[in-house]
Amino acid sequence: MGDDQAKSETASLIEHRAYARVGLLGNPSDVYFGRTISFSLGNFWATVCLQPSDDLVIQPHPTHDLVVFKSLDHLVNRLDSEGYYGGVRLLMAICKVFLDYCKENEIQLEPRNFTLSYDTNIPRQTGLSGSSAIVCAALSCLLDFYKVRHLIKVEVRPGLVLSAEKQLGIVAGLQDRVAQVYGGLVYMEFDKEHMDTLGHGIYTPMDVSLLPPLHLVYAENPSDSGKVHSTVRQRWLNGDEFIISSMTEVANIALEGRTALLEKDYTKLAALMNRNFDFRRSMFGDDALGALNVEMVEVARRVGAASKFTGSGGAVVVFCPDGPSQVKLLEDACQKAGFKLEPIQVVPSLLNEVDLQTLTK
């Protein structure tokens, strides 16, 4: 009986993984009705497990949701390095948003309970979308547990993930969540008309083999990615011509980048990556970007590589057009500067047959 019960519990365990995300071109124009190209980063991920249970339980993570400390110093050091929040609030928020969406759309859910737990190896505050990865993986678990994957369209899901994060005051756009829901390499258009009428953009998956070898540079103690958009956003809303025209240029970089990738014109890709960061720098200014973040970009540029933020700072995506000899120079430069460097692994599309059937034809 014990063995049968254990087998039954294992069979009913639902587990989903969502990966970190790299904004390759066009960011941050996704928040300004622009265009972006992003991909799923296989180097880091979050995993969420769902197990049926009598009560509904959100399990704290033994490390990320620590509430027992050795001393007052331990507690304060922990807060300084990790902040006040773990993943429990993220899991709670997506549960609320999921239920609200199902009620609004008259999707019936069986009255069943579950236990949610999570784990993540995505470095904090690196602009790699660690929070949304947890939310995205949890949403996938809920879709399967309640057997409603076919009823909630793929295009809608990034908005649900974002909505959960907005409940918690997290500043973000749709781009990251699209990359994490779809997996692989995705070209995204966020023009105002579509966003207003559909509530989401137009998302076009691309073949991951179009990408050249890329590298990730990140810092051990990076900046807070949620604070960088603030003044630019207000200036954009106020009709600042410089910001509006710059955002249009950044959006056009993604459009040009799509053609460059389809043609495997990597010289053009390198130029576009550099131009993307230059526009960000001119709009936000070095004070907002942070000296450490700017230095990560500059370290790569000093060896002749193309580089830009993966998100709002904390990590940089690098392309070495001259190949392995240039990568070696980059390795040495990163080691001297105290930055971590690793080859990027790109995750192929995560969509299954049920998901694909929900896509707008």
Q: What is the pTM of this model?
A: 0.89
pLDDT surpassing 90 at residue 206:
yes
pLDDT, averaged across the chain: 90
- Rounded Cα gap, residues 193 and 191, in angstroms: 6
pLDDT tens for each residue of 134-161: 999 999 999 999 999 999 999 999 999 9
Mean pLDDT for the stretch of residues 226-241 = 78
DSSP 29: G
Q: Which residues belong to the active site?
A: 176
Look at residue 188 and tell me whether its pLDDT is greater than 90: yes
Q: What totals of helices (H) and strands (E) does the chain contain, helices first? A: 14, 10
Rounded to whole angstroms, the Cα distance separating 198 from 335 reads 47
Report pLDDT digits (tens) over 83-117: 767 789 999 999 999 999 999 999 999 999 999 99
CA distance 181 to 161: 9
Angle 122-291-123 from CA coordinates, rounded to 5°: 5
Greater model confidence, 194 or 206: 206
pLDDT band at 249 (very low <50, low <70, confident <90, very high): very high
Burial of 356 (0-12, 13-18, 19+ CB in 10 A): exposed
For the segment 213-224, the average pLDDT, to the nearest whole number, is 80
> Mean pLDDT highest for which of 31-45, 65-79, 214-228?
31-45
Pairing relationship of beta strands 114-120 and 57-58 according to DSSP bridges: parallel
**So what's the pLDDT on residue 270?**
98
Cβ proximity of 294 and 309 under 8 Å = no
How far is Cα 311 from Cα 158, in angstroms, rounded to an integer? 17
Cα distances (angstroms) measured from residue 245 to each of 218, 230, 327: 30, 18, 35
**pLDDT tier, 4 (very low <50, low <70, confident <90, very high otherwise):** low
Spatial neighbors of 304 by CB under 8 A, at least 6 apart, are 320, 321, 322, 326, 329
Domain architecture of the chain: domains with CATH: 14-209+347-358 (3.30.230.10), 212-343 (3.30.70.890)
Nearest to 188 by CA among 211, 206, 171: 206
pLDDT at 6: 47
